[in-house]
Amino acid sequence: MGGTKEGPRAIIEASSQLERLVEGYGNPGSLGIHTTDPIPANGGVEHSIQLASSAMQNARFWNAIPVLLGGEHSVTNAALDMLLSSGEVGVLQFDAHMDLRDTYEGSKFSHACVMRRVVEAGIPLFQVGIRNFSEEDLAAREQYKVGYYDASTLYRRKDASGLTLPPTFPKKLYITFDVDAFDASLMSATGTPDPGGLFWWDAVTLLENLTEGRTIIGMDVVELAPNQLHHPSYTAAKLVYFLMGLASKRNT
């Protein structure tokens, strides 16, 4: 096992086992999928973020939808420049953790701080599936007026079909999906496989409902740490392909 650095490779390899059609969304692959070379990670975190940021902005220049595969959740920092140049846009975060600390283990670019960088930049944030809390996270959530459907709320409702984003939330969305948003029984291959999370159809229903009437300008799927099992990598690959289908439908 090589940790999250092996996540992108595992997702791409597992994607070869996917069927081409996504139920309700046709064949997203028919629109064209270009896989870039891996972003080098040997020049320091900030350098890697700059390289990934340039790649994402280049994709937007060509009217493509950038899909960033992690890797640690810190890679979402690479989307900030693109988001800030895209007009009014909001971030929809699926995660077990808020990631709203100011610093973590001495770094402002840690996976535990990535959403703090988002809200500090003035970008609206809505969180889904959170079930782990720190005092600093909760204080930042209140300070920056972050919207949320925590895991406990979703569990008590039993039915996510009526949930939507607030009408004032931006119409353009960037989706960041940490795979630990999934329940540990579905997603064991991550740094913190956590009970009480989302199952497949929970996630699909929420993604469909929360993006209704909006466009998706980019996305990332992060924190897969492949293990000896195949199904977590396959699940992550299926999620990526579903998100591609969802984006293609929402953007037409």
pLDDT of residue 41: 78
Whole-structure pTM value = 0.96
Helical ranges in 121-230 per DSSP H: 135-143, 151-157, 200-210
Within 10 Å of residue 143's Cβ, how many Cβ atoms?
10
Nearest alpha carbon to residue 54 among 41, 71, 66: 66
pLDDT of residue 106: 86
Write the DSSP symbol of residue 198: B
Within 10 Å of residue 240's Cβ, how many Cβ atoms?
22
DSSP H or E run through 68: strand 67-69
Residue the block writes with tokens 């998100």: 243
Q: Contact 96/181 with Cβ under 8 angstroms?
A: yes
Q: Contact 154/160 with Cβ under 8 angstroms?
A: yes
Nearest alpha carbon to residue 9 among 182, 180, 224, 186: 224
- The upper half-sphere exposure of residue 198, i.e. CA atoms within 13 Å in the direction of its Cβ, equals 29
Q: Contact 177/224 with Cβ under 8 angstroms?
A: no
- The upper half-sphere exposure of residue 221, i.e. CA atoms within 13 Å in the direction of its Cβ, equals 24
Q: Is 216 helix (H, G, I), strand (E, B) or coil?
A: strand
pLDDT of residue 2: 59
Tell me the residue type at 213.
G
Most distant CA pair in the chain, distance: 46
CA separation for the pair 40, 49 (Å, rounded):
10
Q: Which two tokens stand for residue 252?
A: 């037409």
Within 10 Å of residue 139's Cβ, how many Cβ atoms?
11
Determine the topology of domain 3-30+65-250 in CATH.
Answer: Arginase; Chain A (3.40.800)
Residue pLDDT tens, the chain, 252 long: 458 999 999 999 999 999 999 999 999 999 999 999 998 878 788 888 999 999 999 999 999 999 999 888 989 999 999 999 999 999 999 999 999 999 998 889 889 999 999 999 999 999 999 999 999 999 999 999 999 999 999 999 877 878 999 999 999 999 999 999 999 999 999 999 999 999 999 999 999 999 999 999 999 999 999 998 899 999 999 999 999 999 999 998
